[in-house]
Structure 1
């Protein structure tokens, strides 16, 4: 939520021309709640956010809907809230203006009211695109986020940036638009594929290598267990692992907020959390099948660590420790497409984004960071050649596991499955039974309309709440 205060004063230029000077200050505040079982019927946190409206438009990842859709319906039905679900698939190739417009169409069809919040459920790609749709719709429509992936929970949830890709450039079109609330439910990781857990692990490496040594130590200690047992949410997780994972997640998010909230609109361009994001924004989309985001930034981070080591900013031991952790996690450290030419193109692109300076974040030492602005083309290329030789000494010669997007990432639908569909759950106080409605914007031109019975599925965990004000 925002509260804008401003002053207007009369001015006069040195040439005698009259005018005005406007000085405005916008207070931005939004909340985070850590909660296990957000769709448990006994847990009214989410329902309370929609009581005023007695209805909810949800933009949901289709994979999440397939797993949790029935539970979502029963939850809202139980609380007497009319639910409309707009199902979508959004991957890097579908993180586009047409996808954004499909969400806008759903908002128009729903008849969203000015201050009424859209509920966005899915990974970082979903929250990015749906958040941008909300930013654009009537120039500012509220939304509530429920991220469901490691990247969504740890990284995308913290930022107020929303965007779509343009051409081969990630997030080239976007805005700054804060949600009114973010609900952080790590139990979604139980059903997240291991490849996506690994993908998100990279974001924790990003923040820990350059800003939080104690988190890096925990990642180093529990690396394989964190990935294989989905941050302590999978069956067989020990109490020790669960406690370590919860500490990593809480402190990682807290550190991201500490760094981001003073600079929500990126007025300051030296950003610690831009580690791994100097050359990766262009490189990520270069292969015909794009990299998963975590692997793209891991290549950038590993190369940046080699660059830092070449400058003696980190020791050989620290350098090896960083690269070894990337390798143990199954994250990429190099690829044949990471070339001198790509470095040159990516550097030219990022200089425009960063107001003419490279501002490359590198560790110095682990847990702290500095920014490099004076890296010559010759130094970059020399570091690249050295990096490619060094990573050959590691398993898979620097290649990552599950490094490229698949059908679950791309936003492409299997044959016969519509990319966007609606399921409407009616308020049980107003109607009953099940009916079929033929209409538009659904599978083969048909819209599904159903009402479900109510069942209690699982148990409530009381959440702590974090409020952000900047």
Structure 2
């Protein structure tokens, strides 16, 4: 697959990615190379990756537990301390090998250690390939609040090897699929239509769908790197989705949702709001709802779940002057951002989701 030129870095794919990575490391003459991975990627992905890494530099592997609960400042302090003890300097390189938690936290650690060292993302999950590793957003959660602490800082390159997807369970694949569906809904109706019948797709088709998803996100980010305008469209489904994800994460009586599972719910809810604001037709809303419900499990909400989720909305990063900001659909393939919705309409959206 053809590489994609992003804002100050390049996204490389499959075999070409390793060739480019090895050439880059040789040219830059780094002092040491550090790898951040989690228990899953360490077990399933590093055995493939390490033999393809051509370097005579010292390599140190720093492993953390897998899962969103590790994406916090305490983990950063632990890794900053390890880097210091192992003699990392300004000429060290950090390779982030794993899913979205690893690319998010690894980019943040690199961006802040000694005021910034180089890092490269090697995403190993579908979610990280099409979303988390692209665009330069790095950061950690603050308690159960998603991505409250962070920076925008781009990697030196991204290497996407789709062979890593063979290590993923189906729920992780669906989690990444949510972001791909979102890219179609906000930017490219034809791309959305590709997902109407996934049973007709084979793995070769999926490579091209991944490539197009990265293209879409990159096209948006190139226009608005710091999220002052069109990049806000990427938040479709995330205002309510993040609140739901945070609520389920902190509530011991709830099953923890993967990011894409929460975002799929958020997209249905925010599509309902788009319909009720006459931005989306009823047929388009029903199409979105039925397609997403055919892929993702329908989650049960109790009556007393709603208010805590509404309370979490105030912490959303997009909010301005105390008002909750939504990115809504303006028909399939287009968006309007900086949209508002009152709690009554949000409540109606949850009622519709449950019906």
What TM-score comes out, normalization by structure 1 length?
0.67
Q: Please point out which of 211, 228, 232 is paired with 1:271.
A: 232
Question: What stretches of structure 2 of length at least 5 have no aligned partner?
Answer: 1-5
For 1:214-229, list aligned pairs within 5 A.
214-222=190-198, 224=199
1:91-146: per-residue Cα shift (whole Å, max 9, x none)?
A: 11111111112221232133223143211100010111111111111121110110
Q: Partner of 1:111: helix, strand, or coil?
A: coil
1:285-331: per-residue Cα shift (whole Å, max 9, x none)?
A: 21224211001111111011112222332222211211121122125
For 1:349-388, list aligned pairs within 5 A.
349-350=315-316, 353-371=319-337, 373-388=339-354
Separation in structure 2 between the aligned mates of residue 133 and residue 141 of structure 1, nearest angstrom: 9
Aligned length: 343
Residue 172 of structure 2: aligned partner = 196
Structure having the higher Rg: 1
Separation in structure 1 between the aligned mates of residue 161 and residue 303 of structure 2, nearest angstrom: 36
Residue 14 of structure 2: aligned partner = 35
Separation in structure 2 between the aligned mates of residue 140 and residue 337 of structure 1, nearest angstrom: 46
Farther-moved stretch of structure 1 (87-96 vs 260-269): 260-269
Question: What stretches of structure 1 of length at least 5 have no aligned partner?
Answer: 1-26, 233-241, 390-470
Residue 3 of structure 2: aligned partner = none
Separation in structure 2 between the aligned mates of residue 270 and residue 29 of structure 1, nearest angstrom: 17
Separation in structure 2 between the aligned mates of residue 193 and residue 37 of structure 1, nearest angstrom: 26
Q: Please point out which of 192, 214, 217 is paired with 1:253.
A: 214
Residue 445 of structure 1: aligned partner = none
Residue 24 of structure 2: aligned partner = 49
2:84 matches 1:108: yes
Residue 312 of structure 2: aligned partner = 346
2:133 matches 1:157: yes
- Relative to structure 1, is the Cα distance of residues 68 and 151 closer, same or farther in structure 2, using a 3 angstrom cutoff? closer
Residue 407 of structure 1: aligned partner = none
For 1:24-423, list aligned pairs within 5 A.
29-36=8-15, 43-51=18-26, 52-53=29-30, 55-76=32-53, 79-222=55-198, 224=199, 232=203, 242=204, 244-268=205-229, 271-287=232-248, 288=252, 289-332=255-298, 335-336=301-302, 339-350=305-316, 353-371=319-337, 373-389=339-355
1:344-368: per-residue Cα shift (whole Å, max 9, x none)?
A: 3133223774444433122221111
Q: Report the CA distance between 1:197 and its aligned residue.
A: 0.3
Q: Report the CA distance between 1:225 and its aligned residue.
A: 5.9
Question: Is the 2:98–2:122 Cα contact (8 Å) retained in structure 1?
Answer: yes
Question: Is the 2:108–2:150 Cα contact (8 Å) retained in structure 1?
Answer: yes
Q: Partner of 1:158: helix, strand, or coil?
A: coil
Question: Is the 1:270–1:359 Cα contact (8 Å) retained in structure 2?
Answer: no
Report the structure, 1 or 2, having the larger helix content: 2
Separation in structure 2 between the aligned mates of residue 195 and residue 36 of structure 1, nearest angstrom: 27
Identify which of structures 1 and 2 has the higher relative contact order when contacts are C-alpha pairs closer than 8 Å and 6+ apart. 1
Q: Partner of 1:314: helix, strand, or coil?
A: coil
Farther-moved stretch of structure 1 (318-327 vs 118-127): 318-327
